Amino acid sequence: MKTIQLFFLIFNFFFIYANYLYSFDIHFIDIPNKSKIKTGYINLKWDTNITKAKDMTIMYELEKSTKPTFKIPSQIYMGYDKGTFISGLPEGTHYFRVRAVKDKTEILTGWSKPIQVDVEYQSKTLTISLMISGGVIFLAIVLVVLVGNHLKRKEEGEDT
Amino acid sequence: MNYQEAVLSQETGWVLMVLLGIFWIALGAYWGRKSKTIDDYMLAGRNVGLALGTATAMATWITSNTTMLAPQFAIQMGIWGLVAYSTASIGLLLFAPMARRIRNLIPKGFTSGDFVYIRYGRATWILFILISIFYSLTWLVSMGMAGGILLNSLTGIPYEYGVTVILFVCVLYTLLGGLYAVIGTDYFQSVIILIGIVIIGATVLFKLDLDVIYIDIATEQPALLYIFFPPALIALFNNLLFGVGEITHSNVWWSRAFAMGKGIGQKAYTLAGILWVPIPIAAGFIALSSGSLGINVISPDMIGPTVASKVLGYYGAISVFIIIFCSLASSIDSLLAATSDLITEDIYHKLFNSHADEIKLKKVSAIIIILLGLFTWIVCLPKIGTLATVLFFAGPMVGSTIWPIITGIYWKKAGFIGAFWGMFLGTTCGLIAYFVLGWYTATLIGTGISMLIVCLFSFLFPADFDWKELNKE
């Protein structure tokens, strides 16, 4: 009899805990609609329906992974802010998910629906051509100013 | 959504803001006593010396962008981003020989518009004035917005109040003393900024462990250390040309070239360029340490001040506040004065009242300063976009003016057709690139197109400009 009571007690605990956990929701907001990010940086923001009174002590845990299953996740943020700026992402697909926790231990929500971020930098050809163009334009400007100044100084010197 | 705490209390913020405001207004009124004629009001008597000349050039170029955008570049584009931002000093260095030539060519000139009007005629001048005023207003708005964002982030003072106070203070002292007040306050502001940045940079460097920073970036943000990092490499020349374009065409720099005594301009701009280089590097470097310090970045344009104030604590935050207030004021006052000169001289005097006397022009200039302040305030209040997107929209426009200006200064054969179409098509193509390829290509493409057109017309249909035209009353 005692074993059955204990079983129900444990079952109830998990049932109540699961209900508590999933009564709150967390989700990313203002997700960039670009299919591919060419700069390697992204601003992530999230929001939750947890009531405001409790909100004051809520922390958020953000994880990143290169797999949609989050097999080997890495924690990239744990704190009170509802957003973060991530830069220096290497090329490839990155997945992010977030959840709310209390005092770094008590979990308040399940993981959010993950978002997928595809990073693909500009092509080498475009980069090199723009760099060469920039270099040529800049050198031409320097030449016009320096040569022009030298010649005009000479002319002005001759005039006086 | 920003729940990052302010480092200073609102009370401290208000006390600092009021004290600095009173100091700049009093100083502006004191320096402004010398301002009697229109030459005094617009060009500080055309006899500014080397120390004041260097200080005003440097202080004006240390804008909120130096303290906010340089760290933003570093955190977005890593080491190359840092280099890209510091190339803005090349604009000052290149303008140095041009300042000498400008002063000799057009000794009685007031604005960059005067030069374009005489050199290329009315059509090119109208286009140039449109570009120049648009750029000045964009810069002014970005400064006003920066003021509000920074004061809010450091002290919690509401954005709207921060924008209002900084604009009110700058409008008032520029109004009281014209360019005398601007250059005088710039001198103090540049000294405060230089000392402050050196102290903050050194303290941060001693407090941080470079190995830890390196390991953290290599693990968490590896692309920031790439030698071949496409977005940063593309931005490198784009930013360089943007800086060159800003200085080459803007009346902020031309008015200083006219204001400096004979033989001063070249030295002052060279010195200012050299002194300016370490400032964005120091400001950008501390941004890279945010990860290893566990500082969460929400808004990338706030990373510099946030890291500096958190590393240095309460008194550090006060120093950051003072430096930022100075860098904002030194640019806003210069822009107010130079843009007001441009509108007074180029639009009011040339188009509407060519017989206006000095008293009338001085009065109009003062009214325009007030109107500019009001306009900036109204546009700043809704807080549109980030600083980079606001300012870089003007990139292709200023880039397209580089070639018409430099060839106009040095080449007799540069004519108005090349100048007009260079600016027009350069701006158009650059703006298309802004939307299609991204902001980091816009200035480069705008400048390139303008260069091709100006050179083509100069060689195919050479003009024969008489330099003496520029020296007439």
Separation between Cα atoms, residue B222 and residue A66, nearest integer Å: 15
3-state SS record for B154-197: HHCCCHHHHHHHHHHHHHHHHHHHHHHHHHHHHHHHHHHHHHHH
- The least confident of A110-119, A142-151, B41-50, B348-357 is B41-50
CB contact under 8 A, B98 and A88: no
Maximum separation of any 2 CA atoms in chain A, in Å: 116
What is the structure's pLDDT at A19?
55
Q: Residue A30 region, left (φ>0) first, then alpha (ψ -120 to 50), else beta?
A: left
Identity of the highest mean pLDDT range in A71-75, A154-158, B97-101, B287-291: B97-101
Tokens standing for residue A12: 């109830």
- The least confident of A38-42, A71-75, A96-100, B34-38 is B34-38
What is the pLDDT confidence band of residue A62, given thresholds at 50, 70 and 90? very high
The number of C-beta contacts closer than 8 angstroms across A and B is: 139
Inter-residue contact B185 to B329 (CB < 8 Å):
yes
Rounded to the nearest angstrom, the minimum Cα separation between B254 and chain A is 16
Maximum separation of any 2 CA atoms in chain B, in Å: 68
- The least confident of A7-11, B114-118, B437-441 is A7-11
Rounded to the nearest angstrom, the minimum Cα separation between A25 and chain B is 17
Return phi, psi of residue A45, to 5°: -130, 150
CB contact under 8 A, B75 and A85: yes
Say what the pTM is.
0.84
What is the structure's pLDDT at B417?
96
| Mean pLDDT calculated for residue range B151-180 | 89
CB-based contacts of A42: which residues, under 8 Å, 6+ apart?
A: A32, A85, A86, A87, A89, A117
Q: State which residue of chain B sits closest to A80, comparing Cα positions.
A: B3
Separation between Cα atoms, residue B48 and residue B55, nearest integer Å: 11
What is the pLDDT confidence band of residue B4, given thresholds at 50, 70 and 90? low
What is the pLDDT confidence band of residue B180, given thresholds at 50, 70 and 90? confident
Q: State which residue of chain B sits closest to A39, comparing Cα positions.
A: B231
What is the structure's pLDDT at B2?
43
How many CA atoms lie less than 13 Å away from A39 in the CB half-sphere? Answer: 21
CB contact under 8 A, B451 and A84: no
What is the structure's pLDDT at B364?
93
Inter-residue contact B327 to B308 (CB < 8 Å):
no
What are the CA-CA distances from residue B349 to residues A147, B246, B254, B358 (Å)?
35, 24, 18, 11
Q: Specify the residue for token string 């103090």.
A: B188
| Mean pLDDT calculated for residue range A20-44 | 77
Q: DSSP letter string over B43-94?
A: HGGG-B-HHHHHHHHHHHHS-HHHHHHHHHHHHHHHHHHHHHHHTTHHHHHH
| Mean pLDDT calculated for residue range B278-293 | 83
What is the pLDDT confidence band of residue B32, given thresholds at 50, 70 and 90? confident
Using DSSP's 3-state secondary structure scheme, residue A50 falls into coil
What is the pLDDT confidence band of residue B1, given thresholds at 50, 70 and 90? very low
Per-window interface: A 20-59 vs B, CB < 8 A: 38-41, 43, 45, 47
Is the C-alpha dihedral spanning B139, B140, B141, B142 positive or negative?
positive
CB contact under 8 A, B3 and A81: yes
What is the structure's pLDDT at B438?
79
User: Of the candidates B101, B231, B444, which has its C-beta nearest A39's C-beta?
Assistant: B231
Q: What angle do CA A46, A71, B224 make, to 5 degrees?
A: 65
What is the pLDDT confidence band of residue A149, given thresholds at 50, 70 and 90? very high
Mean pLDDT of chain B: 88
Separation between Cα atoms, residue B385 and residue B377, nearest integer Å: 16
pLDDT above 80 for A3: no
| Mutation for testing the B interface, residue in A72, A75, A87, A91 having most B CBs under 10 Å | A87
Tokens standing for residue B389: 């997107």
What is the structure's pLDDT at B390?
62
Tokens standing for residue B438: 């991204």
User: Of the candidates A76, A77, A134, which has its C-beta nearest B241's C-beta?
Assistant: A134
Q: Could you report the per-residue pLDDT of B227-251, keeping only the tens digit for each?
A: 999 989 988 999 899 999 999 999 9
Per-window interface: A 138-157 vs B, CB < 8 A: 138, 140-142, 144-149, 151-152, 156
- The least confident of B84-93, B168-177, B211-220, B307-316 is B307-316
On whether any CB of chain B is under 8 Å from the CB of A84, the answer is yes
CB-count exposure of residue B17 (10 Å: 0-12, 13-18, 19+): buried
| Mutation for testing the A interface, residue in B75, B98, B153, B298 having most A CBs under 10 Å | B298
- The least confident of A127-131, B28-32, B310-314, B317-321 is B310-314
pLDDT above 80 for A128: yes
- The least confident of A142-151, B383-392, B404-413, B452-461 is B383-392
What is the structure's pLDDT at B63?
76
pLDDT above 50 for B407: yes
User: Of the candidates B97, B222, B241, which has its C-beta nearest A146's C-beta?
Assistant: B97
Separation between Cα atoms, residue A123 and residue A134, nearest integer Å: 16
Rounded to the nearest angstrom, the minimum Cα separation between B221 and chain A is 4
- Calculate Rg over the CA atoms of chain B: 22
| Mutation for testing the B interface, residue in A141, A143, A147, A153 having most B CBs under 10 Å | A141
What is the structure's pLDDT at B3?
44
Torsion from C-alpha of B224, B229, B231, B235, nearest 10 degrees? 90
Q: Could you report the per-residue pLDDT of B108-135, keeping only the tens digit for each?
A: 888 999 999 999 999 999 999 999 999 9
| Mutation for testing the B interface, residue in A44, A59, A130 having most B CBs under 10 Å | A130
Chain B residues touching A151 at Cβ < 8 A: 410
- The least confident of A30-39, B56-65, B78-87 is A30-39
User: Of the candidates A45, A140, A149, which has its C-beta nearest B97's C-beta?
Assistant: A149
Chain B residues touching A132 at Cβ < 8 A: none
Separation between Cα atoms, residue B267 and residue B196, nearest integer Å: 24
| Mutation for testing the B interface, residue in A145, A147, A153 having most B CBs under 10 Å | A145
DSSP A91: S
User: Of the candidates A41, A122, A152, which has its C-beta nearest B76's C-beta?
Assistant: A41
Inter-residue contact B356 to B147 (CB < 8 Å):
no
| Mean pLDDT calculated for residue range B459-472 | 91
Separation between Cα atoms, residue B249 and residue B273, nearest integer Å: 17
Mean pLDDT of chain A: 83
Rounded to the nearest angstrom, the minimum Cα separation between A70 and chain B is 17
| Mean pLDDT calculated for residue range A50-73 | 81
Q: What angle do CA B143, B147, B152 make, to 5 degrees?
A: 150
Rounded to the nearest angstrom, the minimum Cα separation between A130 and chain B is 6
Rounded to the nearest angstrom, the minimum Cα separation between A19 and chain B is 27
What is the structure's pLDDT at A142?
97
Separation between Cα atoms, residue B257 and residue B268, nearest integer Å: 9
| Mean pLDDT calculated for residue range B352-366 | 88
What is the structure's pLDDT at B290?
85
CB contact under 8 A, B240 and A134: yes
How many CA atoms lie less than 13 Å away from B43 in the CB half-sphere? Answer: 24
User: Of the candidates A85, A91, A126, which has its C-beta nearest B300's C-beta?
Assistant: A85
